[in-house]
Structure 1
Amino acid sequence: MRNNSKPPTQQAAVFNVQKEQTLLPFLLQAVPKSRNAVKGILSRGQVSVNGVPTTQHDLSLSIGDKVEIMTNQAAKNDSELTGLSIMYEDDAIIVIDKEAGLLSMAAKDKKEVTAFSELSSYVKKTNRSNRVFIVHRLDRETSGVMLFAKTEEVKKFLQDNWEESVQERGYVALVEGKVRNETGEIISWLKETRTFKVYSNPTDNGGQKAITRYKLLQASAQFSLLELRLETGRKNQIRVHMEEIGHPVVGDKKYGASTNPIKRLGLHAVKLTIIHPLTKEQHTFISDPPTSFYKKSK
């Protein structure tokens, strides 16, 4: 047991370690929150081991160690957010786990709750001059990892250097039908119509080149679960490409789906790996796909 401890604060929950293990599994057992919410608590520095603050998820714990979880205002604000949870936050960026059904930012109805409006209110609770800036979007019915900037300079840097800053964008999709090929690559050029529907062309028609790679995770007779990696980030890219190969995303009537067994779009942004715009360190954020995706594709 480490001995550099200090008395716990009054606004903290203290847990005694009963067996040797690493910190994240211990927190998942101790705290009645989702995996991503627990990761957010850890990344914001709300966790101390024997009085020493840590953000190290694989920190080794010994029997008799004391783990302290601060219940500070940041945690309170986080719990009050609607439709999202904070996975990571520092002075430059905020990474969230967005629920399906939440808009990234307002379109017509400026009063509608969005990820942008929720985060704007959240950061202003600390300082009214604080702001957030949207870096990229997820469709309303797509859930998962989404990145925001906390300054206009960081937003501009990330958008201007998107291909260098974003190392990987991974998705999981539940699609209709049994996909026969274990892996595949789809390359086409995408254009948007006046009715805001994106269509695909196999040759260069002046649209944006789009590349999607997929790997089959599991399949039933009716549905397949695919792991997808985007080499480009075009609007509706996955949805259009899945329709193109004859396996539209479940629940995506706009792009050819005829079923909706999970009562939502079967698309989840599972992974985002970035080079931090200030520290230049690599960060990977992972959001577990909904269990319904796995159940329907067994």
Structure 2
Amino acid sequence: MTKITPYDPHELGADFAYTVSDEDNGKRLDAVLAGQLDTMSRNRVQTLIKAGEVTVGSRKIIEPKHRVNEGDCIELQLPEAEDPEPQGENIPLAVVFEDDELIVIDKPAGLVVHPGAGNWTGTLVNALIHHCGSSLSGIGGVKRPGIVHRIDKDTSGLLVVAKTDRAHQGLSAQFADHGRSGPLERAYSALVWGAPSSLKGTIDANLARSHANRQKITVVKAAGRHAVTHWKIKDRFGNPEDEPLASLIECRLETGRTHQIRVHMAYAGYPLIGDKDYGSGFKTKINRLEQPLKSIVSRFNRQALHAGLLAFEHPLSGETMRFTSPYPADFSELLHALQKF
């Protein structure tokens, strides 16, 4: 099989070009390209195809499973390498508190905390670099300067960020202790489908990456990471004579695992409203609602989770710092609609 085309791909404006041989006839585009590019994984090839960087016979193909034919000319244009060091961006920040050691931010839903695959710009870290300059702690590394803890992209609420290494060390120790011996508190408000029969409880269930989907977290009986969520009913919604439609629950974390509240509540049978990853069946529930609640729930395009309380000991002064955040507009609209149901 000929591995090199008889022409220079750079003359065609491509970084790589290959004419499909008879041996590759009928094979998937991603498999053929991965076979020709020894230094590139098949996952990377699939990403480039979906990004529109591959043409077959001068036609852009974005489906990795596209079948190629003998004689097809495949051309690949590699995008310019991303700068791994995040740059400051003038993104508005809701600063709740700031001094020389730390800064407390009220993060809006939709803002990613730090750069990563698919989110190299437009993150909280980019905004912090612009706002704080070189004063951010370097302990978190180039991509996560000052970041002590995180909340999901589509979760709103409070975050504390270290501006000095000594503040980072002190805050990290408190978060690692999970408030067992100090004033650290984290409380979240969640709007969930249904309602537990008890007024409060605890979910103690280990969490691990799902084997079926590495982007998701699942409860596991063995191994995994220890995870504990304490919850308390704040309000129930629906006809008192029927099963509750939904409820407002306060969750407090004893551990801080990825997607912990979302996975734990779904595991208990009360998934968060709007959670497309862990709220299976939410579309069916929405279809049974009456207007205007149906429209309000339908356009709530994120998990209904808000980090409304954050308390910790200032790492230098020793003072207990306590901050609260009001519900954002979309959360308030959903809550009020449920209360009227």
Q: Same fold (TM over 0.5)?
A: yes
Question: Does residue 140 of the first structure (1) align with residue 159 of the second (2)?
Answer: no
Root mean square deviation of aligned Cα: 1.9
Q: Is the 8 A contact 2:262 2:278 kept in 1?
A: yes
- Aligned match of 2:338: 297
- Higher strand fraction: Structure 1 or Structure 2? 1
CA deviations 1:10-29 (Å, max 9, x no partner) are xxxxxxxxxxxxxxxxxxxx
The whole-number CA distance in structure 1 between the counterparts of 2:91 and 2:124 is 9
Partner of 2:96: 87
In the superposition, the TM-score normalised over structure 1's length comes to 0.66
Secondary structure of the corresponding residue to residue 273 of structure 1? strand
Instruction: Give 1:196's aligned amino acid.
Output: Q
Q: State which of 237, 243, 262 in structure 1 corresponds to 2:266.
A: 243
Structure 1 regions of 5+ residues with no counterpart?
1-79
Contact between 1:99 and 1:142, CA under 8 Å: does it hold in 2?
A: yes
Distance in 2 separating the partners of 1:138 and 1:105 = 10
The aligned runs of 1:210-249 (5 Å cut-off) are 210-221=227-238, 222-249=245-272
Q: Which moved more, 1:152-161 or 1:236-245?
A: 152-161
Deviation at 1:256? 2.5
Please identify the structure whose Cα radius of gyration is greater: 2
Asked if the contact 1:191/1:199 (under 8 Å) is kept, the reply is: yes
Shift of 1:150: 0.2
Percent identity for Structure 1 against Structure 2: 36
**2:321 equivalent to 1:280:** no
Q: Output aligned runs, 1:1-298, within 5 Å.
A: 81-82=91-92, 84-109=93-118, 111-124=120-133, 129-131=134-136, 132-162=145-175, 163=177, 164=181, 167-193=184-210, 195-201=214-220, 203=221, 205-221=222-238, 222-257=245-280, 258-259=282-283, 260-261=297-298, 262-290=300-328, 291-298=332-339
CA–CA distance in structure 2, aligned partners of residues 292 and 223 of structure 1? 15
Distance in 2 (CA, whole Å) between partners of 1:101 and 1:283 is: 26
Corresponding position of 1:7: none
**How much does 1:252 deviate?**
0.9
Counterpart contact for 1:170–1:229, Cα < 8 Å: yes
The DSSP-based 3-state class of the residue aligned with 2:206 is: strand
CA deviations 1:152-203 (Å, max 9, x no partner) are 33223322342256621000001112333211111111111351311113x4
1:45 aligns with none
Aligned partner letter, 1:294: L
* TM-score, structure 2 normalization: 0.58
